[in-house]
Structure 1
């Protein structure tokens, strides 16, 4: 695939940030985030409403400038551990052309080329001392006229929900919606309710994992599709007769994938007597658990990693048992617990927090698996004036990054699981007969009609 960078520029806010907003205070959960860019790619085919690319480019850049006036911290730079200097330096914006049609690119999806559409290497940890733009954007034009809008978002103050809130504002402005229909971000609730703190000395665990364990490795990202039939078959297999609670789609998929990812990671250790504990981290949205004052427009990393210990997991482990452990573990993280974090400045240093984070397992070189869901956030509804995205993507190919992470996204056929693992372990997972019975590996059919 040939890709040609046609322009690079910095897009600044249309209006200068008022003096009273020149400093954006981060929240407690922003402080815990590593310094890296996470990606999202939105594919749009050319429609009768889409003019020539020069007009599209002008429209995108003009509306981006307007959006940065509303999301002014995204045009700033981090000034210290707790603050962003809203100095209007702007977002990096790149345009590129490809020698593929969009149909050739995504039918079947060319995962190995996805990273070339991105403005930087995703999920690569950067030193905190480095001053980085909050937002990098690359707009790729296919030879058929379709485009891929690609964002790399610095995790300093954006989680997936915050990223989608920004994209809703940008797309609404690009589409020309009236001012009263443009949603406004809430920058104050997160830092007011959960003010930032110096986290030095927080109990060892997933929140403060030792450098030797927190090592980037040569990984590959693969897309698996769980279509409606697979989901309908997996859900009853995950139900527990002892409880009346229905298993959710997320519970069924994450535990099923967790079991097989763990087995793939363990296979290289099968010749030794030792068994590694499996730690599963579910990154959950605090907004949904807290309610007011938070909403989908509350900006910040309003996330918490719920840590579960799956002891002695093996191929005979029943997914029902994993669902039970998951429910019990996640059930401990109630609104009341987050209120304690807010009111008790010492909670993060407490034995109770250490126990919740399973700090003792850090010394046992655990296999750490991370799961998060971007389902129902709203990415698939983003309309810049040319209709909703054909397809959403994350990243692909090989890169140095943290292994064993899964992100769920919705698609017309069901749920896509974007799984990142070390290459040798990914090969084991892909060849697992029980896993591939339900998980379609990079299927060619995206159920997309090209006009």
Structure 2
């Protein structure tokens, strides 16, 4: 642990009410299987507020109450019992409280000259062991000298995609602020019923390993201004073969893909090469032919997709971005059509 950070307490926080017997075993969906091995980290930074102060008891109580609706988060992955299910046994989540010896997050990061920013931020997250018996979800509450708080979260992707995690955080925040929980029930069983887990044609990540991968990751952060993205969307020419009104995400992905192909071409004496873009498709709201209610479903409702571009395709400077947007949009459409028409999960290509 970083010398600036002092652990005040650590415990397994359980749901405030036991999970009913009929919900004790949650089957995995096909989409859960595809994301089974990784924890997803996220940090929320809150500046001190003159009208209210940090209340750990209130935050912990509301978290415990929210877990009763998101009960798989407090369960365990029991590969020895059933490799395709979560034992929703209320064992709890990792809950850590720390005191940070810095006025705020900015001062803390300035004091980490020996570390890069990424390594320093990792210390604000709960430590999660990649073992089958490990908690699926962890929360670390870091309190700064000025009263500000940074909440670090790690969750196993097997039980949640980004949509589900945002829904959980919003409900936790609502319960903390109002003292009452929203009335709607997330309903984790719908996706496993529609898309049950199956034997995959490739091996899954081994949760028993704690060895770091033998490679170095290089990350870069690019900021796209909202107005610039909107102006870029307006340059996209609409036609019968292109998706209508491409989203901001599609436009930005297409732009990045285009730039990379230009870089590759420049390094290859001006010759273009075949290229592919791998991205994740959120299926919510796109499979209305089989289940309109999937628009708000929780769990993992995403699937990887691949858009391909041949290197010998003519490059036209006036509408080249259109070509990339079209390829991405058509890939999203085709992926959703294949899944929507599949008679069983065995018909879904992976």
- TM norm. shorter chain > 0.5: yes
Query: How much does 1:216 deviate?
Result: 6.4
Partner Cα separation in structure 1 for residue 15 and residue 222 of structure 2:
39
Partner Cα separation in structure 2 for residue 120 and residue 261 of structure 1:
35
Partner Cα separation in structure 2 for residue 71 and residue 25 of structure 1:
15
Given the alignment, which residue of 45, 48, 54 partners 2:47? 45
Partner Cα separation in structure 1 for residue 249 and residue 282 of structure 2:
14
* Contact in 2 for aligned 1:169/1:183 (Cα 8 Å): no
Partner Cα separation in structure 2 for residue 21 and residue 329 of structure 1:
36
Q: Which has the higher contact order (CA 8 A, sep 6+)?
A: 1
Match of 2:200 in 1: 199
Partner Cα separation in structure 2 for residue 165 and residue 69 of structure 1:
14
Query: How much does 1:337 deviate?
Result: 2.6
Partner Cα separation in structure 2 for residue 227 and residue 272 of structure 1:
33
Query: How much does 1:286 deviate?
Result: 1.2
Given the alignment, which residue of 215, 218, 227 partners 1:217? 215
Match of 1:344 in 2: 344
Q: Secondary structure at the match of 1:132?
A: coil
Q: Secondary structure at the match of 2:123?
A: helix
Q: Does 1:118 align with 2:118?
A: no
- How do 1:82-93 and structure 2 match up within 5 A? 82-93=84-95
* Contact in 1 for aligned 2:272/2:312 (Cα 8 Å): no
Q: Does 1:231 align with 2:226?
A: no
Q: Secondary structure at the match of 2:279?
A: strand
Match of 1:413 in 2: none
Match of 1:437 in 2: none
Partner Cα separation in structure 2 for residue 260 and residue 117 of structure 1:
34
Query: How much does 1:49 deviate?
Result: 3.8
| TM-score normalised to structure 2 length | 0.80
Query: How much does 1:146 deviate?
Result: 1.1
Partner Cα separation in structure 1 for residue 77 and residue 31 of structure 2:
15
- How do 1:417-436 and structure 2 match up within 5 A? none
Match of 1:101 in 2: 104
Cα distance change, pair 216–172 in 1 and its aligned pair in 2 (3 A): farther
Q: Does 1:28 align with 2:47?
A: no
Q: Does 1:278 align with 2:282?
A: no
Q: Which runs of 5+ in 2 are unaligned?
A: 111-115, 204-212
* Contact in 2 for aligned 1:282/1:305 (Cα 8 Å): yes
Partner Cα separation in structure 1 for residue 188 and residue 29 of structure 2:
10
Q: Secondary structure at the match of 1:14?
A: coil
Partner Cα separation in structure 2 for residue 141 and residue 313 of structure 1:
56
Query: How much does 1:147 deviate?
Result: 0.8
Query: How much does 1:295 deviate?
Result: 3.5
Cα distance change, pair 263–90 in 1 and its aligned pair in 2 (3 A): farther
User: More strand per residue: 1 or 2?
Assistant: 1
- How do 1:118-267 and structure 2 match up within 5 A? 118-120=125-127, 126=130, 130-179=132-181, 181-200=182-201, 217-239=215-237, 245-261=244-260, 266=264
Q: Secondary structure at the match of 2:9?
A: strand
CA displacement 1:122-147 (0-9 Å, x = unmatched):
xx9x5xx6332110111111221111
Query: How much does 1:84 deviate?
Result: 0.5
Query: How much does 1:152 deviate?
Result: 0.7
* Contact in 1 for aligned 2:9/2:98 (Cα 8 Å): yes
RMSD across aligned C-alpha pairs, in angstroms? 3.4
* Contact in 2 for aligned 1:79/1:85 (Cα 8 Å): yes
Q: Does 1:289 align with 2:286?
A: yes
Match of 1:404 in 2: none
Q: Which runs of 5+ in 1 are unaligned?
A: 203-214, 358-451
Query: How much does 1:311 deviate?
Result: 2.6
* Contact in 2 for aligned 1:173/1:182 (Cα 8 Å): no
Query: How much does 1:201 deviate?
Result: 6.1
Partner Cα separation in structure 1 for residue 26 and residue 122 of structure 2:
31
Q: Secondary structure at the match of 1:235?
A: helix
Match of 2:307 in 1: 308
Cα distance change, pair 25–344 in 1 and its aligned pair in 2 (3 A): closer
CA displacement 1:299-354 (0-9 Å, x = unmatched):
211101121112329998732221122222222133x532333x234313xxxx3x
Cα distance change, pair 143–276 in 1 and its aligned pair in 2 (3 A): farther
Query: How much does 1:106 deviate?
Result: 8.7
| TM-score normalised to structure 1 length | 0.63
Q: Secondary structure at the match of 1:280?
A: strand
* Contact in 2 for aligned 1:169/1:182 (Cα 8 Å): no
* Contact in 2 for aligned 1:74/1:135 (Cα 8 Å): yes
Query: How much does 1:232 deviate?
Result: 4.0
